[in-house]
């Protein structure tokens, strides 16, 4: 029964994707996408419900045919990339794809044979968490895309080709690949899922085919190809010298013999870092914004980057004992968190702020994985969960706002509280969940801080302290922009598609549920995983404090949706303008020439202190140096071992 | 005594004063007179103030400002005209642009004449104003209770 | 076991804090005005002047720019009380810190929601102030953990020596940002308790009458809590230490008043740089030394 469910989750989206590719009617597509999203969500939740609280469960499954098919898919994906590289004359992408093909073929021919992974698929609580995120958040985004893409197509120039079938097919293919990644214990299969997500996002980013989109999609593919190549090289090593192709086995061996696993751990970590868009590879995720918003939501919240941190969290027991990969992951994650939080201050483009915040938070998860203690994993898993739900809500809200106010600039979101009352509140909920106590993300950050203190990671404590302060700055000023209220603003919310309301409503409900139910989630999902890996329970925050946070979350949610924006009993007065107000309810005043002027205010961006120009090179150089040194140290360690 | 009289916060507006009275108003806040002894604070914000001190006469231009400041003050509130110009227009009463005393724009509760008005006179006027403030506060209280 | 008793204790402590903190805070505020007046060669208002002010504000007409600012201010007030409750219930110091940040956020949003130009400038500056002091406050909690072995404030009573013996660097850093948190000159850039300033009254420009009264009481409670954070450095197993801690807290308060009366306001760049450098040098180095020994 369970195996069937696993297979269903991996194959069903694939089938849907194939059908969507040929369906051209908009009405039919709506039914198919809506229905199958519901099916996937229900099946995912059913799987979670069935296996809740159980330890690790493995399924005896090995198939030569599947392995060959995976290799074939790998090659086919590279062929697609080569095709695009030739068409758009991008030499580097082409070369990397050719190298990748050669490596995959070599791997199949010389390394993979004779190594059986007896238990090809498995389930544990981390997988369940990912399944829930992919199933609910991922398919929710697909539903949202229905309405969004209709508007998007309407904004396209006359006669533009309707490429939506491909778009939706890719979205579902993405989900299928994610399931493959989280279920596979066979690293060769995992690699296939990994590569499918890489190429899918390549195609999605380049969806609009504008010069910018093509440029950014190639940047994405080049960076992730590097990660893919690192992944294959790691497999060469694990199969060639250790005779291991199972992820679980690798983690166990790595935990027992840190020295032998250092090099492959560094390589796998590199793959995870590229996928999780850590510095110096963060630019691909920034570039991904050119894609339609559902793509960004999918990449940022439930898939793609989450695959990266998923792998890192899986490898955490290795990092816990192995110095070189641990230091690399911890420092890259920590530095990325700090610097990307800084750069987010200087951005006024909402999607760019979200992108930087994603990268920063992934950095935090990465750092947690690098620390590798049970407590760190507890924090990392919660960061992953809350980031997924909050960030997807935010992207969806920004996407909808963009279609209705014609801008994604935060400055243009002035008065959104009046113009789009429901959407603004949803957005505010998402923002609060990202950075402030008592919401989940901050409670997880709190646990992170405690972990860093317990393990004596002074550098990380400082990075976290200053990074969090920056986080407060850029979220609070955005929140302030949204909160502004003035009478007489026109409500433009009427034309929002129902599918968009459904998706954003589901995400908001999820946020509140997850925040209020945090102690329960800890008990049912996160603790069992920590126990299954480390054999101990670990929770840095007492249940009492978790419950307190839960109560406060409920309180704030009620305030946000029930009490704000009411009229109250107080007499209405105008704001003080230190002169004569020209028009009631506005900030227009009589100026010194007896004309009228408007008082305007922009948020602070502090370009000189936190601008991209100053900070980006620092981060790129720092992180590149860290990675190069770690690689060199790991290689040297291997040589030392060989001698 | 109600609390309204124990913490009278003032806002000072220079309508078209020659600055003579303004300096005296500020002098009242300085160590020599130290009106903070009585809880008096000079706020720059009509929304926080209980007592409106106006210096200088009202003219065509600033009458709107005087009115707006008065409107933005919350009940109970008291207006004190400081100096002869604020009381009646003073030596500027027949200038082409001058309308006259502050009472041409808003209801004035206490007149404190003088050119320039002496700090003692200002303090005296404020103390008189407190009596009026007290009455107004009581009236407001009664109205509030009635409302309930 | 499930932690519900923590919740109950915290709620009780919050209620007690809600009653006692305004009384103490009010007296402290009165003392502040009295001492400031004496420093300026004036007599100053009665000790209970802050109380009179608040009572007067409560009696004023109820008016506001919109219906939401009062809600935000109430939230800010509630979370300040809760932060105090967590602290005095012997609870988690970090949680207390986070709740104060939450309270600051609601206060900022109360200002933003009015869309008053002056309040908006004040709110932007307030945000910057939070960003300035936040690292050092977090490091204060971390330092406390390293010195006391727990984040729970109740843990001080089992110590043999006050934590200040090991984290005096952190204390210095914390005292620096305390000036920002107490909104004292030279760091009163978002709103000032002194007469005129270029942005009217900054954050509180649009808050009037009963709402402003709430803000005032909230600040009293905040001040009490911040001084209690400072006092925490000086408490150990010996009951006499509580007296020592109170005396030290009062001395620190006097120091803040002295600073308030003797420094002109700085620009935000100086505040941000100063606070962060102090956090890095005093907090960071102190913690690093402790971690590596």
CA distance B30 to chain C (A): 8
User: Which pair of tokens denotes residue A37?
Assistant: 């999203």
pLDDT (0 to 100) of residue C83: 95
User: Which pair of tokens denotes residue A538?
Assistant: 């670990």
Q: Which residues pair with B12 in a beta bridge?
A: B53
Contact (CB<8Å) C130/A472: yes
CA distance A287 to chain C (A): 28
In order of A120, A263, A632, C263, the CA distances from A280 in angstroms are 34, 20, 17, 44
User: Which pair of tokens denotes residue A488?
Assistant: 């007489």
Contact (CB<8Å) A446/C105: no
- Whether the bond between B76 and the residue before it is cis, its omega within 30 degrees of 0, is yes
pLDDT (0 to 100) of residue C195: 57
pLDDT (0 to 100) of residue C194: 67
Radius of gyration of chain C (CA): 19
Helix (H, G, I), strand (E, B) or coil at B8: coil
Comparing C1 with A449, the larger pLDDT belongs to A449
- Whether the bond between C85 and the residue before it is cis, its omega within 30 degrees of 0, is no
In chain B, DSSP finds a helix count (H) and a strand count (E) of: 4, 7
Distance CA A287, CA A296 (A): 10
Contact (CB<8Å) B47/C207: yes
Contacts of B137 in chain C (CB under 8 A): 59
Contact (CB<8Å) C195/B4: no
- The number of distinct structural domains making up chain B is 1
- Looking only at the bridges linking them, the beta strands covering B78-82 and B9-14 are unpaired
Average pLDDT (A46-69) is 85
Residue to test with chain B: of C58, C208, C211, C261, most B Cβ within 10 A? C208
B9 backbone dihedrals φ, ψ, rounded to 5°: -95, 135
Task: State percent of chain A over pLDDT 70.
Answer: 98
Flag whether pLDDT at A297 surpasses 70.
yes
Nearest CA in chain B to C34: B37
A35 touches A123 (CB < 8 A) = no
Contact (CB<8Å) A572/C64: yes
Does the residue A466 lie in any domain?
Answer: yes
Which of A480, A548, A559 is opposite residue C10, by nearest beta carbon? A548
How many residues are listed for chain C in this entry? 293
Average pLDDT (C56-62) is 89
Range scoring the smallest mean pLDDT among A458-472, A562-576, C87-101: A562-576
Q: Element (H or E) spanning C64, and its range?
A: strand C63-64
Distance CA A31, CA B73 (A): 60
Flag whether pLDDT at A643 surpasses 60.
no
The pLDDT confidence band at residue C274, using thresholds 50, 70 and 90, is very high
pLDDT (0 to 100) of residue A567: 67
Distance CA B118, CA B4 (A): 25
Task: State percent of chain A over pLDDT 90.
Answer: 44
Contact (CB<8Å) B65/A580: yes
The pLDDT confidence band at residue A196, using thresholds 50, 70 and 90, is very high
pLDDT (0 to 100) of residue A426: 92
Average pLDDT (C4-21) is 92
Distance CA C208, CA B73 (A): 9
Average pLDDT (A618-622) is 93
Average pLDDT (C17-23) is 95
Q: What is the mean pLDDT of chain A?
A: 89
Distance CA C47, CA C49 (A): 6
A249 touches A230 (CB < 8 A) = no
Contacts of B34 in chain C (CB under 8 A): 37, 42-44
Q: Which chains are adjacent to chain A, needing at least 3 Cβ pairs under 8 Å?
A: B, C
The pLDDT confidence band at residue A534, using thresholds 50, 70 and 90, is confident
Contacts of A609 in chain C (CB under 8 A): 272
Flag whether pLDDT at C151 surpasses 70.
yes
pLDDT (0 to 100) of residue C279: 94
CA distance C89 to chain A (A): 12
| Domain encompassing residue B11 | 3-141
Which of B31, B41, B42 is opposite residue C40, by nearest beta carbon? B31
Q: What is the DSSP string of A544-599?
A: HHHHHHHHHHHHHHHIIIIITT---SSEE-PPP-SS-BSSTTSSEEE-TTSSEEE-
Contact (CB<8Å) C208/B48: yes
Q: Which chains are adjacent to chain B, needing at least 3 Cβ pairs under 8 Å?
A: A, C
Does the residue A603 lie in any domain?
Answer: no
The pLDDT confidence band at residue A404, using thresholds 50, 70 and 90, is confident
The pLDDT confidence band at residue A3, using thresholds 50, 70 and 90, is confident
Flag whether pLDDT at A76 surpasses 70.
yes
Q: What share of chain B is helix, strand, coil (3-state, %, to 5)?
A: 45, 20, 35
Contact (CB<8Å) A484/C115: yes
Flag whether pLDDT at A54 surpasses 80.
no
Contacts of A581 in chain B (CB under 8 A): 68
Flag whether pLDDT at C196 surpasses 70.
no
User: Which pair of tokens denotes residue A462?
Assistant: 């400082």
Q: Element (H or E) spanning B112, and its range?
A: strand B110-112
- What is the 3 state secondary structure string of A535-546? CCCCCCCCHHHH
| Domain encompassing residue C177 | 4-292
Does the residue B147 lie in any domain?
Answer: no
Distance CA A238, CA A68 (A): 19
- What is the 3 state secondary structure string of A160-188? CCCCHHHHHHHHHHHHHHHHHHHHECEHH
Flag whether pLDDT at A563 surpasses 80.
no
pTM of the model: 0.94
Average pLDDT (A323-344) is 93
A284 touches A224 (CB < 8 A) = yes
- The number of distinct structural domains making up chain A is 1
Contact (CB<8Å) C42/B140: no
Range scoring the smallest mean pLDDT among A81-95, A347-361, A480-494, B78-92: A480-494
Contacts of A417 in chain C (CB under 8 A): 113
Average pLDDT (A137-148) is 89
The pLDDT confidence band at residue C3, using thresholds 50, 70 and 90, is confident
What per-residue string of b and e applies to B118-127 under the rule 16 or more CB within 10 Å gives b? bbebbbebbe
Instruction: Please indicate if any CB of chain B lies within 8 Å of the CB of A584.
Output: no
Contact (CB<8Å) B46/A581: no
Instruction: Please indicate if any CB of chain B lies within 8 Å of the CB of C43.
Output: yes
B115 backbone dihedrals φ, ψ, rounded to 5°: -140, 95
pLDDT (0 to 100) of residue A414: 83
Which of A573, A576, A580 is opposite residue B64, by nearest beta carbon? A580
Segments of A83-210 assigned E as strands: 121-123
Average pLDDT (C144-170) is 90
Cβ neighbour number for residue C280 with a 10 Å cutoff: 17
pLDDT (0 to 100) of residue A571: 81
Average pLDDT (B100-128) is 91
pLDDT (0 to 100) of residue A233: 92
DSSP-H helix ranges across chain C: 4-39, 49-59, 69-88, 93-114, 117-148, 168-181, 209-232, 240-262, 268-278, 285-292
Which of A417, A573, A578 is opposite residue C64, by nearest beta carbon? A573
What's the pLDDT tens digit per position in C102-135? Answer: 999 999 999 998 888 899 999 999 999 999 999 9
Burial of C9 (0-12, 13-18, 19+ CB in 10 A): middle
Average pLDDT (A492-504) is 84
Q: Chain B to chain C, count of Cβ pairs less than 8 Å apart?
A: 77
| Domain encompassing residue A186 | 2-153+163-563+610-642
Distance CA C206, CA A67 (A): 68
Residue to test with chain A: of B49, B58, B72, most A Cβ within 10 A? B72
B41 backbone dihedrals φ, ψ, rounded to 5°: -125, 140
pLDDT (0 to 100) of residue C98: 93
C195 backbone dihedrals φ, ψ, rounded to 5°: -40, -95
Instruction: Please indicate if any CB of chain A lies within 8 Å of the CB of B34.
Output: no
Instruction: Please indicate if any CB of chain A lies within 8 Å of the CB of B64.
Output: yes
Which of C42, C201, C209 is opposite residue B31, by nearest beta carbon? C42
A91 touches A30 (CB < 8 A) = no
DSSP summary character for residue C166: T
Distance CA C183, CA A442 (A): 26
- A589: closest CA among C195, C118, B58, B48? C118
Contact (CB<8Å) C59/B2: yes
Which of C41, C201, C207 is opposite residue B44, by nearest beta carbon? C201
- Looking only at the bridges linking them, the beta strands covering B9-14 and B98-100 are unpaired
CA distance C47 to chain A (A): 31
User: Which pair of tokens denotes residue C178?
Assistant: 């305390």
Cβ neighbour number for residue A113 with a 10 Å cutoff: 12
Burial of C279 (0-12, 13-18, 19+ CB in 10 A): buried
Range scoring the smallest mean pLDDT among A79-88, A107-116, B63-72: A107-116
Q: Which residue has the tokens 């028009």?
A: A583
User: Which pair of tokens denotes residue B40?
Assistant: 């008096």
Average pLDDT (A371-381) is 91
ipTM of the complex: 0.94
Residue to test with chain B: of A574, A576, A577, most B Cβ within 10 A? A576
Task: State percent of chain C over pLDDT 70.
Answer: 98
Which of C4, C118, C206 is opposite residue A547, by nearest beta carbon? C4
Residue C233's contacts (CB-CB under 8 Å, 6 or more residues apart) are C144, C162, C163, C164, C167, C171, C245, C248
Range among A103-107, A541-545, C275-279 rated most confident = C275-279
What's the pLDDT tens digit per position in A430-488? Answer: 999 999 888 988 989 899 998 888 888 899 999 999 999 999 999 999 999 888 887 66
Q: Which long-range contacts (CB under 8 A, 24 or more apart) does C285-290 make?
A: C285/C169, C286/C143, C286/C167, C286/C168, C286/C169, C286/C170, C286/C173, C287/A458, C287/A461, C287/A462, C287/C139, C287/C142, C287/C143, C287/C146, C287/C167, C287/C170, C288/A458, C290/C143, C290/C146, C290/C147, C290/C166, C290/C167
- What is the 3 state secondary structure string of A395-417? HHHHHHHHHHHCCCEHHHHCCHH
pLDDT (0 to 100) of residue C144: 93
Q: Which residue has the tokens 């690699």?
A: A191
- A358: closest CA among A286, A454, A462, A294? A286
Contacts of A568 in chain C (CB under 8 A): 64, 67, 70
Comparing A639 with C248, the larger pLDDT belongs to C248
How many residues are listed for chain B in this entry? 148
- Angle, vertex CA B44, rays to CA B41 and CA B50, nearest 5: 55
Nearest CA in chain B to A592: B61
Distance CA B123, CA A411 (A): 48
What's the pLDDT tens digit per position in A579-614? Answer: 888 888 788 898 888 889 988 888 889 888 898 899
Contact (CB<8Å) C128/A566: no
Q: What share of chain A is helix, strand, coil (3-state, %, to 5)?
A: 75, 5, 20
User: Is the torsion defined by CA of A472, A475, A479, A481 positive or negative?
Assistant: positive
Cβ neighbour number for residue A636 with a 10 Å cutoff: 13
Range scoring the smallest mean pLDDT among A79-83, A336-340, A525-529: A525-529
Helix (H, G, I), strand (E, B) or coil at C122: helix
Range scoring the smallest mean pLDDT among A156-170, A469-483, C164-178: A156-170
Contacts of B3 in chain C (CB under 8 A): 52, 55-56, 59
Residue to test with chain A: of C12, C71, C115, C118, most A Cβ within 10 A? C115
What per-residue string of b and e applies to A19-42 under the rule 16 or more CB within 10 Å gives b? bbeebeeeeebeebbbebbebbbe
pLDDT (0 to 100) of residue A131: 92
Instruction: Please indicate if any CB of chain B lies within 8 Å of the CB of C42.
Output: yes
């Amino acid at each position: 029964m369970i195996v069937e469910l696993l297979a269903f989750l991996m194959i069903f989206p694939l089938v849907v994707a194939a059908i969507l590719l040929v369906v051209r009617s908009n009405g039919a597509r709506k039914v198919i996408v809506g229905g199958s999203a519901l099916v996937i969500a229900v099946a995912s939740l059913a799987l979670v419900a069935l296996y809740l609280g159980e330890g690790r469960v493995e399924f005896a499954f090995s198939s030569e045919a599947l392995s060959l098919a995976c290799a074939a898919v790998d090659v086919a994906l590279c062929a697609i990339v080569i095709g695009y590289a030739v068409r758009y004359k991008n030499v580097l992408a082409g070369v990397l794809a050719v190298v990748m093909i050669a490596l995959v073929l070599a791997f199949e021919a010389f390394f993979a044979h004779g190594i059986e992974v007896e238990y090809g698929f498995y389930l544990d609580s981390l997988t369940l968490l990912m399944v829930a995120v992919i199933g609910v958040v991922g398919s929710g985004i697909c539903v949202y895309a229905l309405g969004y893409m209709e508007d998007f197509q309407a904004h396209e120039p006359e006669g533009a080709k309707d490429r939506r079938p491909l778009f939706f097919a890719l979205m579902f293919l993405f989900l299928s690949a994610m399931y493959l990644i989280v279920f596979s214990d066979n690293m060769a299969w995992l690699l296939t899922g990994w590569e499918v997500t890489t190429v899918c996002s390549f195609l999605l980013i380049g969806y609009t085919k504008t010069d910018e989109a093509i440029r950014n999609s190639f940047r994405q593919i080049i960076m992730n190809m590097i990660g893919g190549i690192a992944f294959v090289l790691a497999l060469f090593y694990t199969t060639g010298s250790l005779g291991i192709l199972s992820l679980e086995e690798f983690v166990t061996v790595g935990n027992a013999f840190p020295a032998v696993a250092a090099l492959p751990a560094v390589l796998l970590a590199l793959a995870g870092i590229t996928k999780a868009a850590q510095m110096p590879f963060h630019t691909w995720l920034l570039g991904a914004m050119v894609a339609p918003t559902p793509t960004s939501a999918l990449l940022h919240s439930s898939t793609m980057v989450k695959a990266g941190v998923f792998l890192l969290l899986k490898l955490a027991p290795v990092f816990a004992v192995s110095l070189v990969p641990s230091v690399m992951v911890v420092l890259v994650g920590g530095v990325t968190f700090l610097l990307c939080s800084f750069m987010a201050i200087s951005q006024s483009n909402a999607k760019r702020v979200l992108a930087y915040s994603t990268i920063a938070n992934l950095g935090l998860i990465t750092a947690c994985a690098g620390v590798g203690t049970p407590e760190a994993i507890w924090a990392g898993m919660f960061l992953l969960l809350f980031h997924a739900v909050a960030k997807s809500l935010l992207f969806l809200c920004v996407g909808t706002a963009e279609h209705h106010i014609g801008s994604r600039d935060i400055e243009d979101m002035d008065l959104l509280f009046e113009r789009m009352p429901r959407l603004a509140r949803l957005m505010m909920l998402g923002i609060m969940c990202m950075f402030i106590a008592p919401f989940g993300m901050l409670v997880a950050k709190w646990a992170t801080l405690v972990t860093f203190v317990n393990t004596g990671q002074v550098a990380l404590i400082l990075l976290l302290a200053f990074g969090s302060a920056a986080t407060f700055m850029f979220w609070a000023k955005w929140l302030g922009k949204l909160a502004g209220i003035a009478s007489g603003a026109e409500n433009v919310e009427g034309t929002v598609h129902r599918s968009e309301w459904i998706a954003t409503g589901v995400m908001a409900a999820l946020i509140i549920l997850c925040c209020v139910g945090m102690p329960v989630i800890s008990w049912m999902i996160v603790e069992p995983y920590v126990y299954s890996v480390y054999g101990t329970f670990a929770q840095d925050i007492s249940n009492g404090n978790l419950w307190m946070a839960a109560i406060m979350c409920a309180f704030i949610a009620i305030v946000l949706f029930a009490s704000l924006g009411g009229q109250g009993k107080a007499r209405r007065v105008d704001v003080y303008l230190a002169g004569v107000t020209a028009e009631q309810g506005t900030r227009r005043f009589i100026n010194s020439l007896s004309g009228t002027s408007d008082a305007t205010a922009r948020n602070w961006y502090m370009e000189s202190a936190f601008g991209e120009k100053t900070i980006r090179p620092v981060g790129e150089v720092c992180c590149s140096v860290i990675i190069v040194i770690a690689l060199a140290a790991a290689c040297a360690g291997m040589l030392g071992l060989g001698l | 005594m109600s609390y309204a009289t124990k913490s009278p916060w003032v806002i000072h507006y220079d309508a078209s004063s020659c600055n003579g009275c303004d300096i005296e108003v500020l002098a009242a806040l300085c160590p020599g007179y130290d009106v903070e002894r009585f809880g008096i604070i000079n706020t720059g914000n009509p929304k926080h103030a209980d007592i409106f001190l106006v210096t200088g006469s009202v003219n065509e231009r600033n009458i709107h400002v005087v009115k707006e400041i008065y409107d933005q003050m919350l009940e109970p509130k008291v207006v004190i005209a400081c100096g002869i110009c604020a009381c009646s227009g003073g030596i500027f009463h027949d200038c082409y642009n001058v309308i006259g005393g502050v009472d041409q724009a808003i209801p004035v509760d206490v007149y404190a004449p003088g050119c320039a008005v002496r700090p003692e006179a200002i303090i005296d006027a404020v103390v008189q104003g407190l009596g009026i403030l007290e009455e107004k506060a009581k009236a407001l209280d009664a109205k509030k209770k009635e409302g309930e | 076991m499930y932690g519900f008793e923590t919740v109950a204790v915290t709620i009780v402590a919050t209620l007690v804090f809600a009653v006692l903190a305004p009384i103490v805070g009010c007296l402290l505020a009165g003392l502040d005005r009295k001492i400031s007046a004496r420093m300026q060669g004036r007599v100053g208002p009665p000790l209970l002047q802050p109380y009179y002010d608040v009572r007067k504000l409560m009696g004023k007409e109820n008016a506001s720019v919109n219906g939401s600012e009062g809600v935000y201010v109430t939230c800010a007030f509630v979370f300040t009380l809760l932060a105090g409750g967590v602290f005095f219930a012997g609870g988690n110091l970090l949680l207390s810190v986070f709740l104060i940040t939450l309270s600051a956020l609601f206060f900022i949003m109360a200002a933003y929601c009015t869309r008053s130009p002056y309040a908006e400038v004040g709110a932007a500056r307030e945000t910057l102030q939070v960003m300035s002091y936040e690292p050092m406050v977090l490091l204060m909690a971390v330092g406390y953990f390293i010195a006391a072995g727990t984040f729970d404030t109740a843990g001080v009573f089992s110590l043999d020596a006050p934590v200040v013996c090991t984290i005096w660097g952190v204390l210095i850093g914390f005292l620096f940002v305390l000036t920002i948190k107490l909104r004292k000159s030279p760091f009163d850039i978002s709103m000032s308790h002194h007469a005129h300033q270029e942005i009217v009254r900054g954050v509180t420009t649009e808050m009037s009458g009963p709402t402003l009264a709430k803000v005032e009481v909230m600040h009293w409670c905040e001040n009490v809590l911040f001084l209690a954070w400072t006092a925490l450095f000086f408490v150990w197993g010996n009951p006499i230490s509580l007296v020592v801690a109170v005396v030290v807290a009062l001395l620190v308060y006097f120091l803040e008043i002295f600073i308030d009366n003797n420094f002109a306001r700085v620009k935000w760049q100086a505040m941000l740089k100063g606070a962060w450098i102090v956090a890095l040098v005093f907090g960071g180095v102190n913690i690093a030394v402790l971690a590596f020994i």
